[in-house]
Structure 1
Amino acid sequence: MQVAPIDPDDPDVRLLISELDAALAAVTGDSGASSFDANDVRGPRAVFLVARAEDGAPAGCGALRPLEGEADVGEIKRMYARPGSGAGKRLLAALEAQARDLGYREVRLSTRRINARAVDFYRRHGYLEAPAWGKYVGSAVSVCLGKPLSPGA
């Protein structure tokens, strides 16, 4: 599986994001689309990644952008892996590596508490509850998770 940077308006990315939106709407009642602006991952210290299967088919995607108000914290957004593709673990590792390369000391994300599959996935990969930020402060439906990044890991 290959993981590489890509523009978030690429047709393969739009397909993956539409699948993510549908999956999130089915699980949480909200697609999460309103919490993402593609321009946020085109700037400095930001990246959008796509994972591709051996045959080149898109298998998943994820984004990293600066967390507003936190100079050394990156925020993971629009993380999605097609079921059964195995892309999730690789994408998360690639996003963490990109975050280290971009000078972040920590990564954070928010997901809905009801999305147990996502919460369990992140916890298995070392993510713990983190302070809420922005619109997530005081939200009963969201859980904010974070992970410190080891230099050179």
Structure 2
Amino acid sequence: MKDSITIVTINPDDKKAFEITEELSANLLMRFGSSGKNSFTDWQPDNSKFVFVIAELNNEIVGCGAFRPVDENTAEVKRMYSKLPQKKIGTSILTFLEEKAKNIGFTNLVLETRVKNHEAVQFYTKHKYQVIPNYGKYINRPEAICFGKSLK
């Protein structure tokens, strides 16, 4: 039987999301010296343009991802994480987020990751994201690399 990944939209404050987001934060802190939590503090759970998802595989939560609006046409991908490598979890989450963003009316996605996060840089490049100038709080931050993708 083939493993089936299920993507579920959920409030990031839900207890089902807590463990995976804490695991993501601990992973980032260990690898890069920052948990990434500070870039996820303006979440608006009652705003339909803010979307947070978890990925489930065999009744286990194995990943998460989100986007939030930057402006009328652009959403920012946040908190992407896959607990298990080589299971297409990240691809499933990203594909879901791209479709959801497009359905809401966004025409572009942007995101930031760390230059040192070679796995993430490779992942986004593989999924047709292009390096763009650093935006917002990432301007003049050489440790950051930003990506963008048109949803048109």
TM-score by length of 2: 0.91
Which of 94, 111, 114 is matched with 1:112 structurally? 114
- In structure 1, what is the Cα distance between the partners aligned to 2:78 and 2:17? 13
Counterpart CA distance in 2 for 1:63 and 1:45 is 10
Once the two structures are aligned, what percentage of the paired residues are identical?
35
For 1:1-153, list aligned pairs within 5 A.
1-37=5-41, 39-53=43-57, 55-67=58-70, 70-84=71-85, 85-150=87-152
Using the TM superposition, give the Cα deviation of residue 29 of structure 1 relative to its aligned residue in structure 2, in angstroms: 1.1
What is the alpha-carbon distance in structure 2 between the residues aligned to residue 11 and residue 75 of structure 1?
Answer: 24
Task: After TM superposition, give the deviation of residue 51 of structure 1 in Å.
Answer: 0.8
Q: Could you tell me whether the CA contact under 8 Å between 2:55 and 2:63 is conserved in 1? A: yes
CA spacing shift, 1:113–1:90, aligned 2, 3 Å: same
Give unmatched runs, 5+ long, in structure 1: none
Q: CA RMSD in A?
A: 1.4
How many corresponding residue pairs?
A: 147
- Mapped to 1, the partners of 2:97 and 2:47 lie a distance apart of 16
In the alignment, structure 2 segments of 5+ residues that lack a partner are: none
Q: Does the Cα contact within 8 Å between 1:46 and 1:64 map onto a contact in 2?
A: yes
In the alignment, the residues of structure 2 paired with residue 27 and residue 140 of structure 1 have an alpha-carbon distance, to the nearest angstrom, of 17
